[in-house]
């Protein structure tokens, strides 16, 4: 009996270790987690394009752009403030307004179709505005802009986030995440 109890305890320890390894294998890498946070916490802004689906109401379902003033013009309910709000907040406001006299228990889904662009300046071959893609990092943004110039500082990058008034300095690594609307500046190196 003692042997059976010891074998059962050993089996539990082995299974726990295997489960931990599986969980570790399925876990997000730090750069993937940072990119996921950027999208999950993403606040809409002008030039974003969203698809809003109202189940059972094809005439309300469609693609909507956030205007320069920060609103989405939605049928029946009019202007919905979208700028500086998450997709979940916008979806809930639309649901609440439609439920207030227009539809019984509206079911709504929403997704961002096109994020606002990012900008890259400084010591890159083709500075300018580029479309944002999921999982974008500074090295990928630099590659999109034609690579570094020979004078580029490849150890440090300056990023002005769309929700911040100030530019911040970051170490330039493969994991340095870019968010929609960011302004990236690659500085000049000092010899």
- 73: tokens are 């013009």
Q: What is the CATH number of domain 49-114?
A: 3.30.1950.10
What are the b/e assignments for 7-29, b being 16+ CB within 10 Å?
eeeeeeeeeeeeeeeeeeeeeee
pLDDT at 36: 52
Count the Cβ atoms, other than its own, within 10 Å of residue 171: 10
Q: What is the CATH number of domain 118-186?
A: 3.10.560.10
- How far is it, in rounded angstroms, from Cα 110 to Cα 91? 6
The ranges assigned to domains in the chain are: 49-114, 118-186
44-79 pLDDT, tens digit per residue, is 999 899 999 999 999 999 999 999 999 999 999 999
* DSSP 8-state assignment for residue 180: T
12-44 pLDDT, tens digit per residue, is 333 333 333 333 444 444 544 554 555 667 899
Average pLDDT over residues 116-141: 95
What is the reported pTM?
0.70
């Amino acid at each position: 009996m003692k042997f059976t109890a010891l074998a059962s305890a050993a089996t539990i320890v082995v299974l726990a270790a295997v489960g931990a390894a599986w969980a570790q294998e399925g876990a997000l890498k730090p750069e993937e987690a940072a990119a996921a946070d950027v999208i999950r916490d993403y606040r809409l802004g002008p030039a974003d394009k969203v698809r809003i689906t109202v189940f059972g109401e094809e005439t309300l379902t469609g693609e909507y752009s956030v205007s320069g003033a920060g609103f989405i013009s939605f049928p029946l309910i009019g202007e919905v403030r979208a700028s500086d709000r998450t997709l979940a907040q916008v979806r809930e406001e639309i649901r609440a307004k439609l439920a207030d006299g227009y539809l019984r228990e509206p079911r709504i889904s929403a997704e961002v179709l096109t994020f606002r662009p990012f900008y890259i300046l400084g010591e890159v071959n083709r500075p300018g505005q580029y479309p944002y893609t999921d999982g974008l990092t500074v090295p990928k943004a630099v590659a999109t802009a034609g690579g570094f110039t020979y004078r580029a500082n490849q150890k440090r990058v300056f990023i002005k986030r769309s929700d911040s008034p100030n530019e911040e300095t970051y170490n330039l690594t493969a994991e340095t995440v870019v968010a929609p609307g960011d302004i990236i500046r690659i500085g000049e190196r000092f010899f």
